[in-house]
Structure 1
Amino acid sequence: MPLVVPGIQSKDSSNPSTEDWSNKLMGKKLGDTHDTVTFAKQDLPKEHRVLTPDSMSTMDFRPERLNIHVDNEGTVTNVRYG
């Protein structure tokens, strides 16, 4: 029987997929409120981190942590769990 990690290999309704977060965040900036170009930070999952091009990060893999990569202007360019 294969190993199934919730939210990674299976659809877990309590943990939206990377694709769901990508659809919500890609091309937007993170801010205090929602509008057509901004996503409110308070609506991100508890376990998240925002990574800029020059930021350092640990290499530990945490499947519940949402990694949000932004460019130098603060626009989301990539979203993934880990």
Structure 2
Amino acid sequence: MPLVVPGLQSNSAGASDDWQSKLVGKKLGDAHDEVTFAKQDLPASHRVIRPDSMSTMDFRPERVNIHVDGEGTVRKVVKG
């Protein structure tokens, strides 16, 4: 098995891809079901960005940015 050194040989986008596959197309709510993801299961460092909201441009590699549309459906997830 090959040695993987985080940050050097691994793809940091992988964590973002995991959250993207879990969240895109769902709404955020209080409990899980077919169309909703429970807010309490999001990582501690996250923010929800709505179309009409402002956000800072600071980069925090551990933070998950969740972009939702006007109806609250997750459209994109990125780290930073």
Q: TM > 0.5 between the two?
A: yes
Gaps of 5+ in 1: none
Larger radius of gyration: 2
Matched, 1:25 2:27: no
Task: Normalising by structure 2, report the TM-score.
Answer: 0.84
Matches within 5 A, 1:3-82: 5=7, 10=10, 17-82=15-80
Query: How far apart are 1:5 and its partner, in Å?
Result: 3.4
Query: How far apart are 1:50 and its partner, in Å?
Result: 0.1
Task: Normalising by structure 1, report the TM-score.
Answer: 0.82
Question: Aligned partners of 2:24 and 2:70: how far apart in 1?
Answer: 14
Query: Which has more helix, going by share of residues?
Result: 2
Runs of at least 4 residues off by over 2 Å: 9-12
Question: Aligned partners of 2:59 and 2:78: how far apart in 1?
Answer: 11
Q: Give the root-mean-square deviation of aligned CA atoms.
A: 1.9
